Amino acid sequence: MKNDSQNITLIINGVSKSLSVGKKESLLDALRSASYFSVKSGCDSGDCGVCTILMEGRPVRSCMIRAMEADGVNITTVEGLSQGEKLHPIQEAFIETGAVQCGFCTPSQVLVAKALLDENPNPSEEEVRGAMSGVLCRCTGYVRTTEAVLRAAAVLREGETEPVMIPQQILPAESKQITLPEAYYRKGGNTAPLPPLVFTPQEMSQTQVIGKPEVKVDAEKLVRGRPVFADDQQPEGLLYGALLTSPHAHARIVNIDASQARAMPGVHAVLTYEDIPRIKYASGGQSYPQPPPYDQVCLDNKVRHVGDRVAVVAAETKYLAENALRLIHVEYELLPLVLDPVEAMQEDAPVIHDEPDTEGIYDSQHNVVHRIDAQVGDVETAFSSAEHVLEGEYHTPKQQQAHLETHVCITYWDEDDRLVIRSSTQVPFHIRRMVAPLIGLPVKRIRVIKPRIGGGFGNKQELILEDLCAHLTLKTGRPVRMELTRRQEFSSTRSRHPNLVRYKIGVTNGKLVAADLYLLGDTGAYGAHGLTVQMVGGFKGLTLYNPPNARFVSDVVYTNKPPTGAFRGYGAMQCQFGIEVLMEEIAEQLNLDVVEFKRDNWLKIGEPMHMAKVLGEGREGFEQMLESSALEQCVDIGLEAMDFYAKREANRRQSGHLRRGMGIAVVMHGSGIAGLDMAAATLKMNDDGSFNLLMGATDLGTGSDTILAQIAAESLGIPVDDLIVYSSDTDFTPFDKGAYASSTTYISGGAVRKAALKIKIQIQEHAALMLDLDDPAKLELKDRKVLAPDGRSLTLEEVALNSLHQMNQHQIMATASHMSYKSPPPTAAQFAEIAVDIETGQITVERLLMVVDCGRVINPITAAGQVEGGMAQALGFALTEDMIFDVEGHLVNDRFGPYHIFKADEMPVMDVIFVQTDDPSGPYGAKSVAEISIDGVAPALVSALHDATSVWVRELPLYPEQVWQALQRKTDKEINNA
């Protein structure tokens, strides 16, 4: 028995379990120690709800209850819901509707749904959302989860329900005359979740597996709560790591005394900057060589933000490790700090990176990490001759990714003395390469395993914990687990770059002739992703409308705040906010129809993207031309679905304090980084005609495992079920750069398609041998068979058995790599309908509709999930999320609650419509969908706000006071002018 502990009995899923628990041990920790890994840790402060279990049938947060209080109580976890193989109808509904994305919050959502339906078998949508509001989800936007619960309720009442259907329509030649199914007009206040509507051009080729709403390959294990996440393994002899962080925004470490901590019983290692070699690196998980500067070391003798790394401890228990941190005595010499990027560039600003061993900083004395200056055409001449020159300045917030699974890493030596890193990471191959020099091991002695990931959104495209965890294993010889707390997620990981976006646009005869974009990026204390985020912002921000004369200048500046990094949208979101709002303002000033003004100017098929070559991502780019786009149709369909013009007309005649507004934005993104991103995939045929699909591609809940399997299945004429998907492990899967830059469908999909076509040839060749045919290419693969023109056929199983055991024995197997010098943009039109309270400034979003061209839609359910989740995150970007600091650089809102992410019961109606195109370079015509989904909401909301009130607000988030002040200024102006 542990010291200070007692024995309790929990009745878990009907089974009595005796546990020895510590006095302060939470029920969450006790359940996980007893191997109930479905119960998750997301915040330790009761804010997120992913630790929810049922206690006597009622939902409670296990992180807020002491284990001892639960003695003798009946507890239900999701492991207890299914009856052996048979899933509970709620679990089935979650799978069928696509409600499972990363799956981290899924067990708690399923349990809440169970409790609700036990009490109320016929809940309304509002009641479902109200019940689910205590579990945060960052992936789904709650659309499919709500649908899942309603569906499960119907099944439990009536015994069965209709299969999930995706409505399809042929895209007419003239999209302005389109009509939609009635439900998509949302008349009469219907708010029930709708499936995505898919428009397909008549001439687009048919597919068998692609385009179908296949169930995710990982969905079942996620709804069962199986132990598939990084922290769901507890190797023998595991030690617990903890991270000491700086309480100061800028200071030198004068002295660090860890002797008391080291002497503490149960503490196995304490590491400070004195114990670890000083090797410089950049923490962003990017392709080799990573863009400079290499401005970090594992543990430094200077701290540059509150939350910066100071020391690490490994101990027998989590509690011991945390207690040991308190015994590390650090003497700091406080330094002046600077929190504002404009101030940081001034002559007398404190120098944040004054160390002599960092190279590649543009101007360290003025804290300028990078200065980017790129131009095409003759901007000055174009402005001087333009009919109108208009300018606007916009500000975007420091938004945190807020994935529900915190960063967690386990490191251990395997039986071959190789270091294994099991990490919740988006970039396993980059991590392996980046960690190696930091810990003094060659790459070949390191293996990185990526299990299921509970969300990342870019924050796990980074070296955050792996090096420290590895150092502790090297020091102790034992497995070590490190997990960040939620507060540390806010203070010690990454966030979106807050930006000042300043545009100057020249217009003649309604056409953009010149554009100048200045982008000030606040990179925080370290520069990872600083260069590339701004370059992507510049490229996308000047390509959406593609004027022939364009200039991009950017300063990326250090401040004493937690560093920024990669976050879905990656600079494009910020700049498209600026350009879209300015286009609206220009249209107003020039008395132009805003939609037609945008239509006349947006990038068209066949046009070269002028900035593509000068603004690659971190280096020179490649010529690009738009080869596919359905933006016209996206806009027309959205105008129809929203009744855009009629509502805008009606909005002119409003009274009362609640005013309605209708807004629009058009956006584009990319599909991978041209000339840089590479992925590989391996297919291996098994005796029974099934295949192992081994990929380095990193599914972080996006469903990439599933859509990549669909691509392989389509090529091989088999169902997805015949593919055993394994991703991503540096020992067993081929290279993939990882999940970022919207590359997975386009680049990883390209690799899978190539591998599938290669293995298809091998199958055809062997089958031809078996059938004694001369021309293998004439053999068709369909329905798990090889079909000959003369009517004979072989099953794939027959081919497999024959090739492995009987004739010309060999393993039918293929590996292929793919990269592209193209990055075809998905395009989309975002619409928003809002109500604004003009007396308080509060905005209530009533409906969001995104009409998306992502090329061919591989899986409409997973693709819709990406769009819905992206819109939900964008709502936070636009309305509620900003990291706020006091004058000392401490975060004021470093927990959920004060940092508000949208909950299930406050979501607007969100609809998704796809307009398919057949991109010539994408696998089966596909482009990307993951990031474009987040780009449009903010400018569409500002557009709607203006429609409702005639005011422009150029700074996000749109807090009520900000809107109220803009309205006050407008009222004062009208009074003064009267």
Partner 1 sequence: MHTKQMKAIQVISSGEHKTLSIPADLPLQFVYKADQSHELFHQSLDRLSWQRRDETTVLYSILSPDMAPQWISALLALGAEVVFAEREQSTPLEDFLPRVGPHSGEITALRIPQDVPGRVWAEEYVSTAPSAAPIVSVFAVVDILEDTVQHARLALTGVWRENARLADAIQTLVGGPLNSKSIQRAANAVEAEVAPQSDFLGSSDYRRAMSAVLTRRVLDQCQNYAEKGDIT
Piece of 256-264, 496-504, 781-789, 892-900 that binds partner 1 (CB under 8 A): 892-900
| Least Å from the CB of residue 659 to partner 1 | 15
Environment class of residue 160 by beta-carbon count within 10 Å: exposed (0-12), middle (13-18) or buried (19+)?
A: exposed
| Least Å from the CB of residue 352 to partner 1 | 24
C-alpha closest to that of 420 among 735, 694, 729, 698: 729
Position among 789, 840, 969, 971 found at the interface with partner 1 (CB under 8 A): 840
Query: For partner 1, which is the closer residue by CB, 115 or 851?
Result: 115
Find the binding residues for partner 1 in span 622-661 (CB under 8 A). none
Q: CA 432, CA 409: separation in Å to the nearest integer?
A: 13
Task: Indicate whether 322 belongs to the interface with partner 1 (CB under 8 A).
Answer: no
Find the binding residues for partner 1 in span 219-278 (CB under 8 A). none
Q: CA 671, CA 928: separation in Å to the nearest integer?
A: 5
The first and second tokens of residue 601, run together, are 């100017």
Task: Indicate whether 844 belongs to the interface with partner 1 (CB under 8 A).
Answer: yes
Q: CA 72, CA 10: separation in Å to the nearest integer?
A: 5
Find the binding residues for partner 1 in span 453-492 (CB under 8 A). none
Position among 13, 17, 82, 130 found at the interface with partner 1 (CB under 8 A): 130
Task: Indicate whether 942 belongs to the interface with partner 1 (CB under 8 A).
Answer: no
- The full 3-state SS of 251-275, as one line of letters, equals EEEEEEECHHHHHCCCEEEEECCCC
Answer for the pair 210, 180: CB distance below 8 angstroms, yes or no.
Answer: no
| Least Å from the CB of residue 153 to partner 1 | 16
C-alpha closest to that of 113 among 98, 136, 130, 96: 130
Which residues, other chains included, contact 399 with Cβ-Cβ below 8 Å and sequence gap of 6+? 495, 496, 567, 876, 877, 881, 882, 883
Site size toward partner 1 (CB under 8 A) is: 47
| Least Å from the CB of residue 133 to partner 1 | 6
Query: For partner 1, which is the closer residue by CB, 284 or 957?
Result: 957
Binding characters for partner 1, 674-703, by CB under 8 A (x = yes): ------------------------------
Query: For partner 1, which is the closer residue by CB, 129 or 502?
Result: 129
Task: Indicate whether 902 belongs to the interface with partner 1 (CB under 8 A).
Answer: yes
Q: CA 939, CA 394: separation in Å to the nearest integer?
A: 11
Query: For partner 1, which is the closer residue by CB, 42 or 734?
Result: 42
Task: Indicate whether 191 belongs to the interface with partner 1 (CB under 8 A).
Answer: no
Piece of 579-587, 591-599, 721-729, 961-969 that binds partner 1 (CB under 8 A): 961-969
Position among 5, 11, 20, 64 found at the interface with partner 1 (CB under 8 A): 64
Position among 100, 102, 112, 915 found at the interface with partner 1 (CB under 8 A): 112
Using DSSP bridges, classify how beta strands 658-668 and 678-685 pair: parallel, antiparallel or unpaired.
unpaired
Binding characters for partner 1, 906-935, by CB under 8 A (x = yes): x-----------------------------
Task: Indicate whether 126 belongs to the interface with partner 1 (CB under 8 A).
Answer: no
Task: Indicate whether 971 belongs to the interface with partner 1 (CB under 8 A).
Answer: no
Task: Indicate whether 52 belongs to the interface with partner 1 (CB under 8 A).
Answer: yes
Which residues, other chains included, contact 626 with Cβ-Cβ below 8 Å and sequence gap of 6+? 603, 604, 605, 606, 607, 609, 824, 825
Query: For partner 1, which is the closer residue by CB, 327 or 658?
Result: 658
- 371 residue type, one letter: R
Which residues, other chains included, contact 952 with Cβ-Cβ below 8 Å and sequence gap of 6+? 581, 585, 942, 946, 966
Position among 620, 789, 892, 971 found at the interface with partner 1 (CB under 8 A): 892
| Least Å from the CB of residue 343 to partner 1 | 19
Using DSSP bridges, classify how beta strands 52-55 and 58-61 pair: parallel, antiparallel or unpaired.
antiparallel
| Least Å from the CB of residue 713 to partner 1 | 41
Angle between helices 631-642 and 644-651 (to 10 degrees): 50
- 720 residue type, one letter: V
Position among 29, 44, 79, 882 found at the interface with partner 1 (CB under 8 A): 882
| Least Å from the CB of residue 660 to partner 1 | 16
* CB neighbourhood size of 880 (10 A): 18
Query: For partner 1, which is the closer residue by CB, 89 or 957?
Result: 957
The first and second tokens of residue 253, run together, are 């470490």
Task: Indicate whether 118 belongs to the interface with partner 1 (CB under 8 A).
Answer: no
Task: Indicate whether 839 belongs to the interface with partner 1 (CB under 8 A).
Answer: yes
Which residues, other chains included, contact 132 with Cβ-Cβ below 8 Å and sequence gap of 6+? 109, 112, 113, 142, 145, 146, 149, 904, 905
Answer for the pair 711, 923: CB distance below 8 angstroms, yes or no.
Answer: yes
**What does the DSSP assignment read for 713-769?**
HHHHT--GGGEEEE--BTTTS--B--S-TT-IIIIIHHHHHHHHHHHHHHHHHHHHH
Position among 32, 40, 61, 432 found at the interface with partner 1 (CB under 8 A): 61
Answer for the pair 366, 349: CB distance below 8 angstroms, yes or no.
Answer: yes
Task: Indicate whether 121 belongs to the interface with partner 1 (CB under 8 A).
Answer: no
Beta bridge partners of 662: 833
Find the binding residues for partner 1 in span 30-49 (CB under 8 A). 46, 49
Task: Indicate whether 105 belongs to the interface with partner 1 (CB under 8 A).
Answer: no
Position among 659, 903, 946, 954 found at the interface with partner 1 (CB under 8 A): 903
Using DSSP bridges, classify how beta strands 52-55 and 267-271 pair: parallel, antiparallel or unpaired.
unpaired
Position among 33, 82, 133, 950 found at the interface with partner 1 (CB under 8 A): 133
Position among 4, 69, 359, 731 found at the interface with partner 1 (CB under 8 A): 69
Query: For partner 1, which is the closer residue by CB, 106 or 706?
Result: 106
Task: Indicate whether 905 belongs to the interface with partner 1 (CB under 8 A).
Answer: yes
* CB neighbourhood size of 893 (10 A): 16
365, 579, 623 from 546: Cα distances, Å:
35, 11, 13
| Least Å from the CB of residue 656 to partner 1 | 12
**359 φ/ψ angles, rounded to the nearest 5 degrees:** -105, 160
Q: How far is CA 113 from the centre of its chain?
A: 25
Q: CA 188, CA 196: separation in Å to the nearest integer?
A: 20
Position among 377, 608, 719, 960 found at the interface with partner 1 (CB under 8 A): 960
Answer for the pair 165, 97: CB distance below 8 angstroms, yes or no.
Answer: no
Query: For partner 1, which is the closer residue by CB, 30 or 609?
Result: 30
Task: Indicate whether 848 belongs to the interface with partner 1 (CB under 8 A).
Answer: no
Piece of 336-344, 347-355, 898-906, 912-920 that binds partner 1 (CB under 8 A): 898-906
Q: Residues in the site for partner 1, rule: CB under 8 A? A: 46, 49, 52, 55-56, 58-61, 64-65, 69-70, 72-73, 112, 115, 130-131, 133-134, 837, 839-842, 844, 875, 879-880, 882, 884, 892-893, 897-898, 900, 902-903, 905-906, 957, 959-961, 964-965
